[in-house]
Structure 1
Amino acid sequence: MKRQIPLLAVLIFSIIFFLINEYVLSGFHTLSTNPLITPLFWAIVLLSAGTLIYSIRNMQRLGMGMLFKITTHAFLILLVSELIFSLFLALGDTYRLISGNPRNLYWVSFALCMFLLTILVFVYGMVRGKYAYRVIKHTLFFDDLPKSFDGFTIVQISDVHAGSFNNSKALQKGIDLIKAQQADLFVFTGDLVNNKAEEIEPWIGHFSQVKAPFGQFSILGNHDYGDYVQWKDEHSKKENLEQLKRNHAALGYRLLLDEHVEIQKDGEKIILAGVENWGVGFGERGDLKKAMRNVCAEDFKVLLSHDPTHWEAQVKTDPVNVQLTLAGHTHGMQFGLEIFGIKWSPVKYRYAHWAGLKTENGRYLNINRGFGFLGFSGRVGIWPEITLIELKRK
């Protein structure tokens, strides 16, 4: 399933990208008049952009290999660093226009320092940030939670993207942190791999360590279907999906495919349902009605659905009344700011709610920020998440 990027969007982005680089270059010229700056600057910019375009155009043939990783990383770091430089340069230029003074050399030097600091922050995110696991805890109260499940705990992780891992020791720290929560139930909400089932196989020994008294359950995400890589034929693609399902079993996870199970405790139950991936623009495979077949209206229900747009489009208004939905998919774009009450990531321009809890119509949605990483081999400000949810009865 190959998505086409509109030509107009590409054209607009190219113009904006050119103007940003021209502005950044003007700042560099303020610091130095060396004639080599211009050709060297544009050589770096064009090389970064050109190799990125090549790797994206050939992604289905070449996959997300080393070339893709290098080009996306280089372009992302360059673009964000230039935006930071431009922001501080613009502040100085605004003051210059008001005061009538020439550009302040010290201020431009400060903008350059911020440019370099941004690069260093991204390097940290690539080396340490992508494995900086943290536990986020939520206590949720419900009128209709069965008494036996008062205090019941669920650990959720999402978006493992096993094909991106490269550090066994660092990954084990994340596994140990999951185990340390000693939750009653473990759930995984999709995207076990980037493209191919074989990606999880070197890590089965790690993720199979996770056990919970009431079981381990999982669903599929958009990347699990093999839609973003070129297969020699349709049979190979289908066999890859079947192998991925077998790998879920090898992990000790019960894969829920538009179905539900009953979690029993002291003669009472809650419903745990899971749907195949349903997401606007990412394949609408899941069947909520099928997953909830024969479920009583008064049952307490937890739904695993990878893409949060499913909750927005169907779940939050469905008569079946799903009290809690657990999703992932967004990764928080692996880049943003969550500090001092500020919560921002570029992904907000695609998803209004992109991480954490949301409630509407008396129903909860939790979006996990992801356990792994994809595309950008790192995380900056949006750290890998292990969610611990405690269910409480009002």
Structure 2
Amino acid sequence: MGQNSGQMPKKRMLRGRSFRLWSLLILFVLALGLPVYGYKIEPYWVEVKTVPLVLPHLQPEFDGYRIVQLSDVHVVDQMPQSFLERVIEQTNQQQPDLVVITGDIVTSDPQRYASRIEAAFKAFAAPTIAVLGNHDYWSDPGAVQQILQKGNVELLRNQVYTVERDQAQLHIAGVDDVWAGAADLDQVMTLLPKTGAAILLAHEPDFADVAVTTHRFDLELSGHAHGGQVAIPFVGAPVLPPHGKRYPIGQYQIEDLIQYTNRGIGMVSPRVRFGSRPEITVFQLSAPTAEQ
């Protein structure tokens, strides 16, 4: 009896020591693994996300129309050209009818990356349009515009791009950058036809609160917030940029406007992603049925 009672505390001590050792090992692995994951794995682990949407004003001729959205490419020295080319390839694999890029092609110094961007963007297999973002404006909007033109990308600066199928029309409007004070929605509205579904491209997602007042757009596509770039489980993104705090990630319904914020492809400093993978969004559009 006495011998057994002496052995039991010793076993408990061994189990306790083993638990502490395993706990320390797990913490050590996490301490090493999380930075590797955040800096080396998730930033290049692209999610292709399909979003089916019924647009109230979409005409039947555009039923099944596919728009692929990229945003916040942020081409910099640290972004491998192979990664950029893979993003374009993945975009083409979605068989888009139209590709849209919602701003921040670069972070700074666009001329430094001109040849890289032009070569990559020329590989898009569908018509491609874009708007500028705040970083494009802060660096050199004119230079970014020239780069896009050479890459066969049409830039909308408070303009409207119209797609026609038979007699039906789908309008893609683009406002210039909001943060830079260049957005002119009044000009867009003067150019926008009164009929046909209309989609708005606006780099900063919180512009939806302005766009919805027109009651003309079925959908706004934005980027800018990167989903916070770091999203803590059960907490969310601790840091969000101005004009990207209300609608930082994914899909929202704002009165009669659907707003969608893409998490982006590239990054800004610190160059880490956690819980916010880079995103290619595929919008499968449907016209409303009689029941809807």
> What TM-score results when the alignment is normalised by the length of structure 2?
0.84
Q: Does 1:318 align with 2:230?
A: no
CA contact (8 A) 2:159 2:188 kept: yes
Identity %: 28
The CA distance in 2 between the partners of 1:120 and 1:158, in whole Å, is 28
In structure 2, the residue corresponding to 1:262 is in which secondary structure?
strand
Map residues 256-267 of structure 1 onto 2, 5 A cutoff: 256-267=156-167
1:274–1:304: 8 Å Cα contact kept in structure 2? yes
Whole-Å separation in 1 of the counterparts to 2:155 and 2:182: 15
Distance 1:147 1:117 in 2: 52
1:203 counterpart = 2:117: yes
Query: Take 1:371 and 1:199, find their aligned partners in 2: how far apart are those partners?
Result: 19
**1:151 maps to 2:64:** yes
Tell me: higher relative CO, structure 1 or 2? Use CA pairs within 8 A at least 6 residues apart: 2
Are 2:192 and 1:295 equivalent residues in the alignment? yes
How much does 1:348 deviate? 6.3
Distance 1:326 1:305 in 2: 6
Answer yes or no: is 1:134 the counterpart of 2:47: yes
Q: Distance in 2 between matches of 1:343 and 1:164?
A: 32
- For 2:282 and 2:265, locate their aligned partners in 1 and report how far apart those are by CA, in whole Å: 13
Greater Cα shift, 383-392 or 329-338: 329-338
Could you say if the C-alpha distance between residues 219 and 294 of structure 1 is closer, same or farther in structure 2, counting changes exceeding 3 Å?
closer
Q: Residue 177 of structure 2 is aligned with which of 277, 283, 287? A: 277
Aligned amino acid, residue 332 of structure 1: G
Against the structure 1 CA distance between its residues 316 and 108, is the aligned structure 2 distance closer, same or farther, given a 3 Å change threshold?
farther
Greater Cα shift, 367-376 or 171-180: 171-180
Map 1:100-119 onto structure 2 (within 5 A): 110=23, 113-114=26-27, 117-119=30-32
Tell me the secondary structure at the aligned position of residue 163 of structure 2: strand
Contact kept in structure 2, 1:131 and 1:174, CA below 8 Å: no
Aligned length: 269
Where does residue 269 of structure 2 map in the other structure?
375
1:325 Cα deviation after fit: 0.5
Aligned to 1:336: 231
Match of 1:168 in 2: 81
SS in 1 for 2:76: helix
**C-alpha contact 2:222 2:261 (8 A) present in aligned 1:** yes
Inter-partner Cα distance in structure 1 for 2:235 and 2:173: 30
More strand by share: 2
More helix by share: 1
Asked if the contact 1:131–1:171 (Cα under 8 Å) also holds between the matched residues in 2, the reply is no
* 3-state SS of 1:243 partner: helix
> Structure 1 stretch 152-161 or stretch 139-148: which is displaced more?
139-148
- Pairing 1:393–2:284 present: no
The structure 2 residue matched to 1:354, chosen from 248, 253, 256, is 248
TM (normalized to structure 1)? Answer: 0.63
Aligned equivalent of 2:206:
309
Q: 1:148-167: CA deviations, max 9, x gaps?
A: 11110100000000015432
Aligned mates of 1:179, 1:343 — CA distance in 2: 35
Distance 1:137 1:118, change over 3 A: farther
Q: Note the alpha carbon deviations across 1:43-84, whole angstroms, 9 max, x for none.
A: xxxxxxxxxxxxxxxxxxxxxxxxxxxxxxxxxxxxxxxxxx
Deviation at 1:204, TM superposition (A): 2.3
Find out whether 1:366 has 2:282 as its counterpart: no
Alignment match, 1:66: none
Query: What is the rounded CA distance, in whole Å, between the counterparts of 1:166 and 1:150 in structure 2?
Result: 37
Partner residue of 2:104? Answer: 191
Query: Is the 1:185–1:216 Cα contact (8 Å) retained in structure 2?
Result: yes
Q: Give the alignment partner of residue 34 of structure 2, picking from 111, 121, 136.
A: 121
Q: Which residue of structure 2 aligns with residue 221 of structure 1?
A: 133
Provide the C-alpha distance between the structure 2 equivalents of 1:224 and 1:328, rounded to a whole number of angstroms: 13
